[in-house]
Amino acid sequence: MGRKLLLEKAHIPGIRSYEVYRREGGYASVEKALRMAPADVVEEVKKSGLRGRGGAGFPTGMKWSFLAKPEGVPRYLVCNADESEPGTFKDRYLMEFIPHLLIEGLIAASWALGSNRTYIYIRGEYAWIVDILEQAIAEANANGWLGKNILGTGFDCQIYVQRGAGAYICGEETALIESLEGKRGNPRIKPPFPAVKGLWDCPTVVNNVETLAAVVPILNIGGEEYAKIGVGRSTGTKLISACGNINKPGVFEIDMNISVEEFIFSDEYCGGIANGKRLKACIPGGSSVPILPANLLLKTAKGETRMMHYEGLSDGGFATGSMMGSGGFIVLDEDQCVVRHTLTLARFYRHESCGQCSPCREGTGWMEKILNKIEYGKGQLSDIDLLWDIQRRIEGNTICPLGDAAAWPVAAAIRHFRDEFEWHVKHPEESQRRNYGLAHYADALTTV
Amino acid sequence: MTQFSDTRLAEVRQIIDRYPEGKQKSALIPVLHMAQEDFGGWLSPDTMDYVGSLMQLEPIEVYEVATFYSMFNTEPVGRHVFEVCQTGPCMLRGSDDIISYIKAKLGIGVGETTADGLFTLKTVECLGACGYAPMMQLGKHYREHLTPEKVDAIIEECRQTVA
Amino acid sequence: MIRGSSYRSIPAKYKDMADEIKMLKVTIDNITIEVPQGTTILQAARQIGGEVAPPAMCFYTKLKGSGGKCRTCLVEVSKGSEADPRPMPKLVASCRTGVMDGMEVKNITSGKVTDARSGVVEFLLLNHPLDCPVCDQAGECHLQDLSYSHGKEGTRYEFTRRTFEKHDLGPYIQLHMTRCILCYRCVFVADQVTGKRVHGVLSRGDHAEIATHIEQSLDNEFIGNVIDVCPVGALTDKTFRFKNRVWFTKPVDAHRDCTSCKGKVTLWQRGDEVLRVTGRKDQWGEVEDWICNTCRFEKKHVSDWVIDGPAKIDRHSVISQGHYTGLDKPKETFSAVHGGRAPKLLMDIHSVSEVNRPGIALSEIQGPATSDTFNIDQQA
């Protein structure tokens, strides 16, 4: 059984309330942090090796130390709770069940960064979670953890919840800032980066919910101790939201030292493939990261056991590996159609493109149309090459990473499942009646 | 007439207070949410113009924002809006069948409203409930692990609240 | 006395500023120049000029915040700077990337750039109606130029092109959204030049459009400038609509005493008739000064103006191929100018330019419009 740092207490009855949370040792990290110099808190987070849990995996301590501190200019901390990457629902779980953990982490981080107004930007659809968070903030205020002169340190801080209104792109930090300023969620052209010019042109740090929650155990046990958990540069624990055709979909906390195989098949986690079926493929880090067929998922190209950490999941690069991403773990069983699944993702990215830059605005729609053609038996073999060429021309050429996020799933699906695409083209009628099935993708499959 | 109640106006002022002096535009999205709730479930040009005047914004600034975000309806909708997720993870768990079932049951297509104005069916992209698929959003809450039986019950429940 | 004292202080101040402004060395396509700190790669490349300057469809020097969106000006930074020589991992938008000392940039010398750029051109043309034969912008359209210089022949897009409902923007300005490439320049003009904006970008993604939401006329005294900044034929001058092709008109620079703008314009004449008035544009197609609506739309008599002389037009432009007098006419033929490539789109323009039919609704035509589209009567 792995170590739990974030969800350890999530199942205690009443943990959503301040009383129970405090009784269980909550807010100790704030007491500790406010006795430290802000720079020392940043140092502690640096020591922990914590990497951003939103998807990019950038070292959090380093991001914090980049924050510009000009005289007389306010600085802002913004919590990115715009969780929208298909397959990802871990932040929701955290906020829904143990909201004070996020508030606690936010107060400590606000102290470290000198943010007196801190915002939680939450996706608009999580409407009921807004109430949960506002309740937690009110309780924190009532008990002196927020407001003026917190714990007599002279530090003032208030946390506000800002609700979005339906736009995946607002998970991109500069689009989020634009939206928080009351505008369309168009990503900004960088540089300048938010650390220099962010919210209302002030220095700003934007961090994911899980990242900020992780500040609590880091301060409680110390950065060095936190860094001992996991492997190499994948320190600490990570929330994985598992979904698709598995027996136990849900949110799991892993210390990044288990194999993918154990994660899928052990009863502690996914509990194996649902309905006694076999594993076909998996997108291990949210819909934008490359899909892997079962053989490459469980073992790396070198034949080694693939591990559930940043380096393990990306072993082999995009040719034979994938990414940790946001931790959205989507499992496909033997009956699932990769073409159809890729089509739904292409539709998603077309729907969510902000429309600012031409490769993404035009390219995402084009890919969806071609995939639609192939899925419905009207495709040609040349369409597969065309798809490849379109994704190649989108990737890396857009303002923000949404272009890459739209291109990668299409690229990986063609890379690993080309025969399935070709089968759709060559058997237009049959492909309308049944799915391609497992073919050879699970050759190397073992079951635990 | 399009006009917030006094309680709602106080709420608007509270929201504006969340931001530094002069940054009241930040309140636009929260206020549009309130307007959509209060004025018939959608944002008519009148409603948007009212929000603009309330917040001292040019009407176009309001239109630009309202049309960007998928939760804002710029066309009228039914009393109950079924927003069924159709993205990959939900598709893997049978959302296509749920959508077909709702279509047949209500006799409407995606994007349509029943003749009695009670139900609108929309398909939406990932709502972050992938582990509890298939799912839909109904008002403020999610309805998860949908089955035809559950859909029947939800429809019945909606009819009850109207009666 | 007062003047004297201020004269003493100013040079000192300027001296400080001169010390502050560092000159940076940048090499673009193997040509090295020095530019002041704060210069973008695009601006530096324009100083070198010619083919080294990347094309720009959305950037506009006078409009703050413009650029970065169309991705046609992407370049490869093969060396970041003297201090940090690592290459930049992705192609960057040259219009929004500042020069660093010792930076090395590849534009036309980079295969990656030319490949990406031809991709961008394809994306920009994907849903474009290609209705050049009936478009008033034809001949001075930046998208047309871009397609010839950086595009590939034909499209691989086989689906119905996106169309938009028509919006009326009042008596002077025609909006043809289907042609728009969403450069946002007209939005910046409304914000920065007119001070009050009634049009903007509505919806998102591939549905995003320039519109007013509820029908409204754009009538600010400076709003006409949106026509000059539009790189394509999405915003055109209603007073010139279907009057003539630009290459049959003669551009001359002229001025008048105007109380609201500088009154320095280009008149587009046919005989003694003024068909159109625009701002004076530089070699990058950007206006030198914003002009007011009165000058643009209401002064259509030669007697309203003092003529300064023929306007400078790039001799590679189709405009100087036409009935242009006052400058040397190029001796080479059009196809020679274009490296032997047949001007596919423009041929059609020539053949149908006399039979422009405003009555044909282009949005109802499947695929690109051709001369046949306008000869329906004869076919029937």
Residue C364 in domain? no
Residue B74 in domain? no
Beta partners for residue A158, in sequence order: A117
How much is the pLDDT for A177? 98
| Confidence band of A74 (pLDDT split at 50, 70, 90) | very high
How much is the pLDDT for A437? 76
Q: Mind telling me how many Å the CA of B104 is from chain C's nearest CA?
A: 29
- Is C206 within 8 Å of A386 when comparing Cβ atoms? no
Tell me how many domains chain B contains: 2
Total residues belonging to chain B: 163
How much is the pLDDT for A2? 74
* Max CA pair span of chain C: 85
Residue C266 main-chain phi, psi, to 5 deg: -115, 130
Is A366 an interface residue toward C (CB < 8 Å)?
Answer: yes
Residue B102 in domain? yes
Architecture of domain A231-305+321-333: Roll (3.10)
- Based on the fold, state whether residues B109 and B86 are members of the same structural domain: yes
Contacts of C155 (CB under 8 A, 6+ apart): C122, C125, C126
| Other CB atoms within 10 A of residue A259 CB | 18
Is B128 an interface residue toward A (CB < 8 Å)?
Answer: yes
**Token pair of A53 as six digits:** 């849990």
The chain C residue lying nearest A398, using CA atoms, is C71
- Based on the fold, state whether residues B104 and B59 are members of the same structural domain: no
Rounded to the nearest 10 degrees, how much is the dihedral formed by the CA atoms of A79, A82, A85, A87? 90
Higher-scoring residue by pLDDT: C336, A41? A41
Say how far apart CA A261 and CA A445 lie, in whole Å: 10
**Token pair of C110 as six digits:** 């980079």
Residue C264 main-chain phi, psi, to 5 deg: -100, 115
Residue C330 main-chain phi, psi, to 5 deg: -65, 145
| Confidence band of B99 (pLDDT split at 50, 70, 90) | very high
Least-confidence region, from A101-110, A345-354, B82-91, C272-281: C272-281
- Is A164 within 8 Å of B30 when comparing Cβ atoms? no
Residue C10 main-chain phi, psi, to 5 deg: -65, -50
Chain B partners of A165 at a C-beta cutoff of 8 Å?
29, 32-33, 69-72
- 3-class secondary-structure state, position A240: strand
What pTM, to 2 d.p., does this model score?
0.90
Q: Mind telling me how many Å the CA of C210 is from chain B's nearest CA?
A: 10
Say how far apart CA A241 and CA B131 lie, in whole Å: 7
Q: Which of residues 204-243 of C touch B (CB under 8 A)?
A: 204, 212-214
Chain B partners of A245 at a C-beta cutoff of 8 Å?
92-93
Q: Are C29 and C109 in contact (CB under 8 A)?
A: yes
| DSSP state at residue A351 | H
Residue B93 in domain? yes
How much is the pLDDT for C360? 56
Q: Over range B129-136, report the average pLDDT.
A: 97
Chain A partners of C182 at a C-beta cutoff of 8 Å?
355-356, 358, 361
3-state secondary structure chain C: CHHHHHHHHHHHHHHHHHHHCCEEEEEECCEEEEEECCCEHHHHHHHHCHHHCCCCCCCCCCCCCCCCCCCCCEEEEEECCCCCCCCCCCCEEHHHCECCCCEEEECCCCHHHHHHHHHHHHHHHHCCCCCHHHCCCCCCCHHHHHHHHHCCCCCCCCCCCCCCCCCECCCCEEECHHHCCCCCHHHHHHHHHHCCCCCEEECCHHHCEEECCCCCCCCCCCCCHHHHHCCCCCEEEHHHCCCCCHHHCEEEEEECCCCCCCCEEEEEEECCEEEEEEECECCCCCECCCCCHHHHHHCCCHHHCEEEEECCCCCCCHHHHCCCCCCCCCCCCHHHHCCCCCCHHHHHHHHHHHHCCCCCCHHHCCCCCCHHHHCHHHHC
How much is the pLDDT for C152? 81
Total residues belonging to chain A: 448
Per-residue pLDDT of chain C (380 residues), as tens digits, is 333 333 333 344 444 555 568 999 999 999 999 999 999 999 999 999 999 999 999 999 999 999 999 999 999 999 999 999 999 999 999 999 999 999 999 999 999 999 999 999 999 999 998 888 888 888 889 999 999 888 887 789 999 999 988 777 889 999 999 999 999 999 999 999 998 899 999 999 999 999 988 878 888 999 999 999 999 999 999 998 877 788 888 899 999 999 999 999 999 998 888 999 999 999 999 999 999 999 999 999 999 999 998 887 765 566 655 433 344 445 555 556 555 554 444 434 434 444 444 455 555 555 555 555 555 444 43
The chain A residue lying nearest C201, using CA atoms, is A184
- Is B137 within 8 Å of A125 when comparing Cβ atoms? yes
- Is B69 within 8 Å of A185 when comparing Cβ atoms? yes
**Token pair of C134 as six digits:** 């009936």
Say how far apart CA B132 and CA B151 lie, in whole Å: 15
Tell me the pLDDT tens digit for each residue of A271-295: 999 999 999 999 999 999 999 999 9
Say how far apart CA A67 and CA C116 lie, in whole Å: 34
Among candidate residues C93, C99, C106, C112, the one with its CA nearest the CA of residue C183? C93
Least-confidence region, from A352-361, A397-406, C127-136: C127-136
Say how far apart CA C271 and CA A4 lie, in whole Å: 84
Residue B1 in domain? no
Tell me the pLDDT tens digit for each residue of A211-262: 999 999 999 999 999 999 989 899 999 999 999 999 999 999 999 999 999 9
- Is A352 within 8 Å of B125 when comparing Cβ atoms? yes
Q: Over range B56-84, report the average pLDDT.
A: 97
Say how far apart CA B132 and CA A248 lie, in whole Å: 10
- Is A287 within 8 Å of B88 when comparing Cβ atoms? yes
Beta partners for residue A90, in sequence order: none
Interface test with B, best of C184, C196, C206, C213 (most B CBs within 10 A): C213
User: Domain limits of chain A?
Assistant: 18-228, 231-305+321-333, 338-433
Beta partners for residue A305, in sequence order: A299
Q: Mind telling me how many Å the CA of C91 is from chain A's nearest CA?
A: 7
- Based on the fold, state whether residues B84 and B63 are members of the same structural domain: no
Total residues belonging to chain C: 380
Chain C partners of B63 at a C-beta cutoff of 8 Å?
200, 202, 213
Residue C35 in domain? yes
| Other CB atoms within 10 A of residue A303 CB | 7
pLDDT surpasses 80 at B63: yes
- Is B30 within 8 Å of A87 when comparing Cβ atoms? no
How much is the pLDDT for C2? 38
- Based on the fold, state whether residues B62 and B106 are members of the same structural domain: no
E strand or H helix that includes residue A93:
helix A90-97
In the block, which residue shows the tokens 């349509």?
Answer: B112
Tell me the pLDDT tens digit for each residue of B69-80: 999 999 999 999
What is the residue range of B56's domain? 6-68
Residue B33 in domain? yes
| DSSP state at residue A164 | -
- Is A344 within 8 Å of B91 when comparing Cβ atoms? yes
Final residue of a structural domain among C76, C94, C119: C119
Q: Over range B22-40, report the average pLDDT.
A: 97
- Among B28, B125, B129, whose Cβ lies nearest the Cβ of A89? B129
Structure ipTM = 0.96
The chain B residue lying nearest A186, using CA atoms, is B68
Is C260 an interface residue toward B (CB < 8 Å)?
Answer: no
Q: Are B64 and C202 in contact (CB under 8 A)?
A: yes
How much is the pLDDT for C315? 55
Tell me how many domains chain C contains: 2
**Token pair of A249 as six digits:** 């979909």
- Is B45 within 8 Å of C213 when comparing Cβ atoms? yes
Q: What single string gives the DSSP state of each residue in B129-155? A: -GGG-S-EEETTEEE-S--HHHHHHHH
How much is the pLDDT for C349? 41
- Based on the fold, state whether residues B84 and B157 are members of the same structural domain: yes
Q: Over range A12-37, report the average pLDDT.
A: 97
**Token pair of A48 as six digits:** 């922990």
Residue B49 in domain? yes
Give CATH for domain A18-228: 3.40.50.11540
Residue B73 in domain? no
How much is the pLDDT for C273? 87
Beta pairing, strands C31-36 & C23-28: antiparallel
The chain C residue lying nearest B72, using CA atoms, is C203
Q: Are C277 and C300 in contact (CB under 8 A)?
A: yes
- Based on the fold, state whether residues B50 and B112 are members of the same structural domain: no
| Other CB atoms within 10 A of residue B156 CB | 9
Q: State yes or no: cis peptide before C231, omega within 30 of 0.
A: no
- Based on the fold, state whether residues B60 and B101 are members of the same structural domain: no
- Is B67 within 8 Å of C196 when comparing Cβ atoms? no
- Based on the fold, state whether residues B91 and B132 are members of the same structural domain: yes
What is the residue range of C67's domain? 23-119
Contacts of A133 (CB under 8 A, 6+ apart): A95, A99, A102, A103, A120, A122, A161
Interface test with C, best of A172, A196, A361 (most C CBs within 10 A): A361
The chain B residue lying nearest A125, using CA atoms, is B127
Say how far apart CA B138 and CA B150 lie, in whole Å: 13
Contacts of A76 (CB under 8 A, 6+ apart): A115, A117, A118, A119, A198, A199, A200, A202, A203, A204, A205
Is C124 an interface residue toward A (CB < 8 Å)?
Answer: yes
The chain C residue lying nearest B64, using CA atoms, is C202
- Is A362 within 8 Å of C124 when comparing Cβ atoms? yes
Say how far apart CA A279 and CA A293 lie, in whole Å: 9
The CATH number of whichever domain residue B13 belongs to comes to 1.10.10
Q: Mind telling me how many Å the CA of B53 is from chain C's nearest CA?
A: 14
Q: What single string gives the DSSP state of each residue in A263-325? A: HHHSTTTT-SBGGG--EEEEEBTBTTSPPEEHHHHHB-TTSPBPBSSHHHHTTTHHHH----T
Give CATH for domain A338-433: 1.20.1440.230
- Is B60 within 8 Å of C203 when comparing Cβ atoms? no
Residue C44 in domain? yes
Interface test with B, best of C214, C215, C216, C220 (most B CBs within 10 A): C214
Q: Which of residues 138-197 of C touch A (CB under 8 A)?
A: 156-157, 159, 181-182, 184
Q: Mind telling me how many Å the CA of A270 is from chain B's nearest CA?
A: 11
The CATH number of whichever domain residue C65 belongs to comes to 3.10.20.740
Is C4 an interface residue toward A (CB < 8 Å)?
Answer: no
pLDDT surpasses 90 at A424: yes
Residue B26 in domain? yes
**Token pair of C298 as six digits:** 């209401």
Question: Do the two domains A18-228 and A338-433 of this chain adopt the same fold?
Answer: no
Beta partners for residue B46, in sequence order: none
Count contacts between B and C (CB, < 8 Å).
Answer: 29
